Every structure is written in structure tokens, then in C-alpha cells.
Amino acid sequence: MALIKSIERKTPIFGEDCYLSENATVIGDFKCGSQCSFWFNSVVRADVNSISFGDKVNVQDGAIVHCTYQKFPTAIGNNVSIGHNAIVHGCTIKDNVLIGMGAIVMDDCVVNPYTIIAAGAILTQGTITEEGYIYAGIPARKIKPVGKNLIEGEIERIANNYVKYSSWYK
């Protein structure tokens, strides 16, 4: 059973039809919408500030979502995929975003809609992405526009697939 832990009298709140793997960890001042999934060894730690998710957010294996004490909460919109071993910290992720495997999004960043943060990219503190672009590299830079093929074939497909995958485990 997943570790769901209250801290400082704040208990995680989950929407309908969410899936938590047996070793996922969700702590503190956290709230999410419906059809979210928390995969093996993922951690959502809202112990020092708040974390909120919209609907259809997936936190894949080994990914970490955290926040910064008295400075930066983390807010994640709808239809967002956080890839394996990614770190999302004290930032805002808007709707329809893909955070690639091993990517890092630092404090005070804003990732605007229809954006892909490539695998292994590091979005340094305070970066604000332009809507509809791929960002890659260290530090991450705008590479090229996200076309309709990537919106449908990656951003939407992955978010929808994780809803399907979670149904296999329920």
C-alpha cells in the first residue's frame, strides 16, 4: 500500500479514480484532481509548502515533486506527464505539458501549455518557457515548436496511456 502521510495536520486529498502504486509516497499539503497516477518509487512531498495537481497528471517511476519552504509551492495543471526520475521543484507547470525522463525543473519556473521539456534537460531557476516549444539541454533552451504531431503523439498520448495503464493495476 502507498505511503500517504499527514504532516502538520495536513493530509493529502485525492480526486476520483486515482492510482497509487504500492511504494509511491505522498505527504502533506497536497491536493489532486481525478485520474492522476503515482507510479513506483515516486514521491510527492508537500511537507514544507503546498503542491496541487489538476486532472490526468502522472508521476512516473522514481520521479520527485517537491516545493520550497516559505517561498515556492508547486502547482501542476491538467494532462501533465512527469517522466521517470524527473525532478519538479517549487514551480508552476501549466496544462498539457510533458516533462521528459530525468529532466529537472527548478524553483520559480513556469512551464507554459503545450511545452515539452526534453529528457535530461535542466530548466534553471526562474525560467519561463514560451508556450508550444520543446526545451532541451543544460541549461535548457528553446529548440523548436511543438507541432500538432507532438501534441497528439506525445503530450496527449502519454497522459491518456497512463490513465489506461493505471486501470490495469486497479
- Dihedral class, residue 136 (left if φ above 0, else alpha if ψ from -120 to 50, else beta): beta
**For the chain, which domains are there?**
3-169 (2.160.10.10)
The one-letter code for the residue type at 37 is S
- Measure the CA angle with vertex 119, ends 78 and 64; round to 5°: 60
**DSSP E strand stretches across 32-105:** 37-38, 43-53, 57-59, 64-66, 74-76, 80-82, 87-89, 92-93, 97-99, 104-105
Alpha carbon distance 105, 113 (integer Å): 15
- pLDDT tens, residue order, the chain (170 aa): 899 999 999 999 999 999 999 999 999 999 999 999 999 999 999 999 999 999 999 999 999 999 999 999 999 999 999 999 999 999 999 999 999 999 999 999 999 999 999 999 999 999 999 999 999 999 999 999 999 999 999 999 999 999 999 999 99
- Measure the CA angle with vertex 75, ends 41 and 89; round to 5°: 55
The one-letter code for the residue type at 74 is T
Q: Look up the pTM and report it.
A: 0.97
